[in-house]
Amino acid sequence: MGKTQPIWIKDPLAILADGAERGVVVNEGRIVELVGAGREPATTGAAVVEAGAHVVIPGLINTHHHFYQTLTRAFPPAMDRELFPWLQALYPVWAKLTPEALDLGVTLAMAELMLSGCTTTTDHHYVFPEGLEDAVDIEVAAAKRLGLRVSLTRGSMNRSQRDGGLPPDSVVQDQDTILADSARVVGKHHQRGPDAMVQIALAPCSPFSVTTSLMRATADLADKLDVRLHTHLAETEDENAFCQEIHACRPLDYLEQCGWLGPRTWLAHGIFFTAEEMTRLGRAKTSITHCACSNQLLASGCCPVCEMEEAGVAIGLGVDGSASNDGSNLMQEVRAAFLLQRARYGVGKVSHKDALRWATQGSAACIGRPELGVIAVGKAADLALFKLDELRFSGAGDPLAALVLCGAYRADRVMVGGHWRVIDGAIPGLDVADLIRRHSAAASKMQAG
């Protein structure tokens, strides 16, 4: 196979990088040159993409999601409920998941993310009703079709209602099955190195849906296989009460007892940590995913991101599940996080660049991918290009700030590993109307009865 032709993304309207006023040159999946003001590229023979109408940022990275939940958005029986009763209303519906429905839910979630400027996404899939044993394989196949970079987690639940947990028996698995399949999907799909397009992490759902034995065994397996760990933690006060009642300690203490507190781990939500616990997280290099929209919709609380960062904790962003957001738009999540944290901390503590940093560099740190999230020589050629040609942007003085303040939500172009995956606001080869039709039918069938 011959070498690819370099691409010069030329003279952008604005770019989130220093010394790249005239754009960037990418080749072989990498950023090979930043072109400063008054310069021409040193790279020869590059194809030119005129970017004078575009704001260029690193591809956004989504570090927490539940793809299958696109099938239960705005589900009436679950509306206006807090987390535990919300879950109890939805588990019976999720128990009806089929391979076909999951494929549609995954494809739609990934497409929605890509169109919002997302180039890398995680997913936390933890429901495995009978017949859905190959859920992670279905997700990998969809990601490869779309060309999206993914860090998929093999989730799990083994504490059902009969054991004092929340989920029904129909969606949980036993520990041996979970561990065996975790090893299988890592062996089959996990890629290593800076060019990896598919990575696998291990992700028991939460302290209230798995046993201590599974938590510890999963940590041991992740260490053996050298993969990352992910779970929900400190999302609600109900979770704190559960841990105190069942484990006689707070959630972070429980996590540490199970061997999870370390740089391999990133946690979703992280709302209810004490100052001492934040210091421990920072010391351990354990990261946190902030899910602003979900936390607001479920009225769970607000992640203390500034205190976290001051304690040395990396903060990423996640859209969370589409049943608690109810969307999969990462650019909108950036704005939501900015507004929520600005309201909490004030104008002197949180800027639009902080929110963009959380969704790029911070998210890259969560998933252990330092080659992502930054426009710099040697980094992955994962880029999102936005136009400012809508009514909402008219009159904007700072193009980068306009993305966040004026509410950008759809990218014009998205590049993953040097390949254009979104062109003119569309995913080449994807029939969106047909996808919506089939996805809506699958959702209606699941929600019926």
Q: What is the average per-residue pLDDT within 123-129?
A: 97
Judge whether residue 263 has pLDDT over 50: yes
d(CA 277, CA 261): 11
> What number does CATH give the domain 7-58+379-422?
2.30.40.10
Q: Which residues lie below 8 Å from residue 66, measured CB to CB, with a gap of 6+?
A: 123, 124, 125, 126, 320, 321, 322, 323
| Amino acid residing at 42 | A
Lowest mean pLDDT among 152-166, 196-210, 291-305, 364-378: 152-166
- SS3 track for 198-215: EEEEEEECCCCCCCHHHH
Give alpha helix (H) positions in 165-258. Answer: 175-189, 212-225, 237-247, 251-257
pLDDT-based confidence at residue 174 (cuts at 50, 70, 90):
very high
**Averaged pLDDT score across all residues of the chain:** 96
pLDDT at position 230 over 60: yes
* Residue 2: predicted pLDDT: 57
* Cβ-proximal residues to 153 (8 Å cutoff; 6+ apart), any chain: 122, 123, 124, 125, 200, 201, 202, 203, 230
Q: Give percent above pLDDT 90 in the chain.
A: 91
At 91-105, the pLDDT tens digits run 999 999 999 999 999
74-94: pLDDT as tens digits = 999 999 999 889 999 999 999
Q: Answer whether residue 3 shows pLDDT above 80.
A: no
CB neighbourhood size of 419 (10 A):
14
CA triple 194-200-203, angle to 5 deg: 135
- Domain residue ranges of the chain, discontinuous segments joined by +: 7-58+379-422, 60-366
> Residue 137 corresponds to which amino acid?
D
Determine how β-strand 23-27 pairs with β-strand 30-34. antiparallel
Per-residue model confidence (pLDDT) at position 323: 81
* Range list of β-strands (E), 78-183: 118-125, 149-156
Report whether pLDDT(449) > 80.
Answer: no
Confidence of residue 1 (pLDDT cuts 50, 70, 90): very low
Our CA dihedral for 184, 186, 187, 191, rounded to 10 degrees, sits at 160
Pull the structure tokens for residue 448: 């019926």
Dist CA 57 CA 44 (whole Å): 24
Alpha-helix runs per DSSP H in 264-375: 275-284, 292-297, 305-310, 330-345, 352-357, 363-366
Residues 406-434: what's their mean pLDDT? Answer: 98
User: In this predicted structure, what is the pLDDT of residue 345?
Assistant: 98
Q: Are 207 and 242 a contacting pair, CB within 8 Å?
A: yes
Q: What is the pTM of this model?
A: 0.97
Identify the architecture of domain 60-366 in CATH.
Alpha-Beta Barrel (3.20)
Q: What is the separation, in whole angstroms, between the first and last Cα of the chain? A: 54
